[in-house]
């Protein structure tokens, strides 16, 4: 054939593929979410997330040290509380002596350079399993009253040594309120990673198993976004940007690559993708059945986030990916 243009020339061997590769996944792109519980020396596996466990503070620090030694720059801590500590006003969330604050403090003193991201939302502490306060008569999720609690939580976490607070609640105005509260308390160097486009998703199921935090009544659709909407994410972007977010996140990840792309095209702020629990569970289940090549899928999926425009990725595969990227073997779970 007379074919002067042949796209395959740029794929003819791995050396040339390396030269023309557009996007690179590195261990420095990864944030590892970890589940923390009170106590010592205990590790409680999460059934729907094979390979992940709720860890007591000592074991969490051990895990974080491994991750840091693998080159992972940041962990995101989520507390799992006993039911007896939960109530309808989520008061334990801003108790400066709760075990979550102790976990942050101990981790900061053990690994001062590791970035600690902390979670700002009511659901781990709420007996209603919602991210905001619930009006006991109407069932409404109360925006403005919730924000007062979120601001107190953020200050507690900053006091304990959090580097980045992550409001995962989707209340209106919370980024601005948290920024003001942090600044007034002289925590102007604590960053905010806003869950900017967080969708009401069925992909969070395993995470809610991990925290026993599923909503007791109703769903999260009056605050989390409708998965049918993309343009609306740009509205959230404008708000979070004006309110002082440092990094904006899209969540879930894999079914929302278009949203990551759109946000990236419309802001100069860095974008994070959250590769959520349900995405992790799907791949683990398929791999355990021998239906998918797990290592291949992990690297392809995480690189796809980069291609879509994500600067960083929160993923339960962080440790596996770090090992794969450094060429060492990943043990099957
Ligand atoms: C709640 C919160 C959720 C996740 C992170 N923070 C679940 C929810 O909104 O119900 C999900 C993370 C995951 O699925 O991995 N504030």
Whether residue 168 has its Cβ less than 6 Å from ligand 1: yes
Q: Which atom of ligand 1 is nearest to the CA of 213?
A: 10
Is a pLDDT exceeding 90 seen at residue 246?
Answer: yes
Catalytic residue among 86, 198, 220, 306: 198
Whether residue 68 has its Cβ less than 6 Å from ligand 1: no
Please state the domain count of the chain.
Answer: 1
CB 36 within 8 A of CB 60: yes
Whether residue 207 has its Cβ less than 6 Å from ligand 1: yes
Neighbour count for residue 223 (Cβ, 10 Å): 18
Which domain range does residue 71 map to? 23-325
pLDDT at 330: 66
Please check whether residue 4 lies inside any domain of the structure.
no
Q: For residue 175, give the CATH number of its domain.
A: 3.20.20.70
CA of 15 to the centre of ligand 1 (A): 41
CA of 168 to the centre of ligand 1 (A): 7
**Where does the pLDDT of residue 16 fall: very low under 50, low under 70, confident under 90, or very high at 90 and above?**
very high
Please check whether residue 10 lies inside any domain of the structure.
no
**Average pLDDT of span 272-284:** 98
| Model confidence pLDDT, tens digit, residues 159-206 | 999 999 999 999 999 999 999 999 999 999 999 999 999 999 999 999
| Model confidence pLDDT, tens digit, residues 301-314 | 999 999 999 999 99
Please check whether residue 12 lies inside any domain of the structure.
no
Cα angle value 189/191/196 (rounded, 5°): 160
- What pTM did the predictor assign? 0.97
Catalytic residue among 152, 220, 251, 264: 251
Please check whether residue 15 lies inside any domain of the structure.
no
**Average pLDDT of span 98-102:** 97
Question: Residue 14: which residues within 8 A CB-CB, separation 6 or more?
Answer: none
CA of 19 to the centre of ligand 1 (A): 38
Please check whether residue 13 lies inside any domain of the structure.
no
| Model confidence pLDDT, tens digit, residues 59-95 | 999 999 999 999 999 999 999 999 999 999 999 999 9
Please check whether residue 106 lies inside any domain of the structure.
yes
Annotation says 251 is catalytic:
yes
Please check whether residue 11 lies inside any domain of the structure.
no
Is a pLDDT exceeding 70 seen at residue 333?
Answer: no
The pick from 131, 150, 218, 277 for probing ligand 1's pocket by mutation, whose C-beta has the most ligand atoms within 8 angstroms, reads 131
pLDDT at 261: 98
Share above pLDDT 70 across residues of the chain, in percent, rounded to a whole number: 98
Whether residue 208 has its Cβ less than 6 Å from ligand 1: yes
CA of 200 to the centre of ligand 1 (A): 10
Q: Which residues of 155-190 are buried (b: 16+ CB within 10 A; e: fewer)?
A: bbbbebbbbbbbbbbbbeebbbbbbebbeeeebeeb
Is a pLDDT exceeding 90 seen at residue 331?
Answer: no
Measuring from atom 5 of ligand 1, which residue has the nearest CA? Answer: 168
Annotation says 216 is catalytic:
no
* Tokens found for residue 123: 């659901």
Is a pLDDT exceeding 60 seen at residue 332?
Answer: no
CA of 76 to the centre of ligand 1 (A): 12
* Tokens found for residue 156: 């507690």
Please check whether residue 200 lies inside any domain of the structure.
yes
Is a pLDDT exceeding 60 seen at residue 26?
Answer: yes
pLDDT at 329: 64
**Average pLDDT of span 242-254:** 98
Whether residue 121 has its Cβ less than 6 Å from ligand 1: yes
CB 263 within 8 A of CB 197: yes
pLDDT at 327: 84
Is a pLDDT exceeding 80 seen at residue 119?
Answer: yes
The pick from 209, 255, 276, 316 for probing ligand 1's pocket by mutation, whose C-beta has the most ligand atoms within 8 angstroms, reads 276
The pick from 225, 251, 275, 283 for probing ligand 1's pocket by mutation, whose C-beta has the most ligand atoms within 8 angstroms, reads 251
CA of 217 to the centre of ligand 1 (A): 16
pLDDT at 118: 98
């Amino acid at each position: 054939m007379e074919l002067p243009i042949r796209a395959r020339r740029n794929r003819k061997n791995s050396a040339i593929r390396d030269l023309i590769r557009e996007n690179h996944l590195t261990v420095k792109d990864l944030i590892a979410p970890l589940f923390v519980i009170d106590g010592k020396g205990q590790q409680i596996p999460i059934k729907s997330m094979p390979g992940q466990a709720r860890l007591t503070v000592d074991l969490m620090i051990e895990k974080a040290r491994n991750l840091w030694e693998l080159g992972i720059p940041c962990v995101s801590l989520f507390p799992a509380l006993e039911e007896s500590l939960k109530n309808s006003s989520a008061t334990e969330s801003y108790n400066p002596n709760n075990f979550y604050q102790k976990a942050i403090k101990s981790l900061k003193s053990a690994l001062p350079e590791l970035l600690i991201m902390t979670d700002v939302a009511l659901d781990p502490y709420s007996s209603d399993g919602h991210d905001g306060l619930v009006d006991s008569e109407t069932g409404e999720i109360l925006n403005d009253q919730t924000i007062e609690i979120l601001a107190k939580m953020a200050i507690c976490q900053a006091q304990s040594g959090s580097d980045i607070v992550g409001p995962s609640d989707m209340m209106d105005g919370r980024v601005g309120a948290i920024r003001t509260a942090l600044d007034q308390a002289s925590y102007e160097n604590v960053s905010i990673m806003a869950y900017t486009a967080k969708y009401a998703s069925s992909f969070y199921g395993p995470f809610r198993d991990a925290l026993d935090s599923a909503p007791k009544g109703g769903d999260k659709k009056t605050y989390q976004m409708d998965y049918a909407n993309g343009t609306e994410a740009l509205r959230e972007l404008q708000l979070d940007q004006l309110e002082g977010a440092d990094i904006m996140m899209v969540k879930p990840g894999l079914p929302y690559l278009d949203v990551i792309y759109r946000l990236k095209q419309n802001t100069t702020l860095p974008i994070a993708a959250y590769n959520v629990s349900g995405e992790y569970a799907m791949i683990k289940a398929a791999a355990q059945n021998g239906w998918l090549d797990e290592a291949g899928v992990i690297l392809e999926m995480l690189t796809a986030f980069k291609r879509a425009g994500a600067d960083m990725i929160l993923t339960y595969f962080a440790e596996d990916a770090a090992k794969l990227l450094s060429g060492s073997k990943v043990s099957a779970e």
